[in-house]
Structure 1
């Protein structure tokens, strides 16, 4: 993907699908256990966000400042990617499932599907 342009949803889902295929091709544990492990990966990524925030704010006096806010941004992106790949692992209709859910959240929160 070209970093100079804004990604379109098609680019997003094409990449998510490619990442899912790549992970599936080299998955040491399959079946239900593999699915559950893919979901647990999301918790690991969220923990890395927490670690980066603590590091960016210097909240661990023993370690001091160990991360930047750019690190936090990157970790948040990893959470989003991991969640989308986990959703794709759960259903091949991930794009439609996510789109419908996002629209419901927008209507509930903003009062309009296009806001």
Structure 2
């Protein structure tokens, strides 16, 4: 028996598809408000990461261990996806914007120059 792995998912087409699906179902807030709410969704997702870390480490004495590190990984993925969809909402060229920014981040020194 061999391990069957699904074909790799192309990141940017998947983000574009998620963006299109969200746009097609957008009914509550039009325009700028929808954009702001989509960006605010990042805070919600980051909070879910924090909740999962607290749950994985059992730091809430009333609840104990409620999450796994797999849950933390999934929540981090949700943050990344939400951020990329928000970026796609701001620009039709999210890949170019992201890669340009990533290049700049990679070129930053890790330590302050002395």
CA distance in 2, matches of 1:44, 1:30: 20
In structure 1, list runs of 5 or more residues that go unmatched: 111-115
Q: Spell out structure 1 runs of 4+ moving beyond 4 A.
A: none
Aligned equivalents of 2:55 and 2:69: distance in 1?
9
**1:113 corresponds to:** none
**C-alpha separation between the residues in 2 aligned to 1:90 and 1:4?**
33
Alpha-carbon distance between aligned partners in 1 of 2:53 and 2:8, rounded to the nearest angstrom: 26
Q: Any gaps of 5 or more consecutive residues in structure 2?
A: none
State the number of aligned residues. 106
Q: How far has the Cα of 1:109 moved from its partner?
A: 3.9
In our comparison, the structure showing a higher alpha carbon Rg is: 2
RMSD between aligned residues: 1.7
Equivalents in 2 of 1:5, 1:102: separation in Å?
A: 27
C-alpha distance in 1, partners of 2:51/2:109?
30
C-alpha offsets along residues 59-84 of structure 1, whole Å, 9 cap, x if unaligned?
00000000000000000000000000
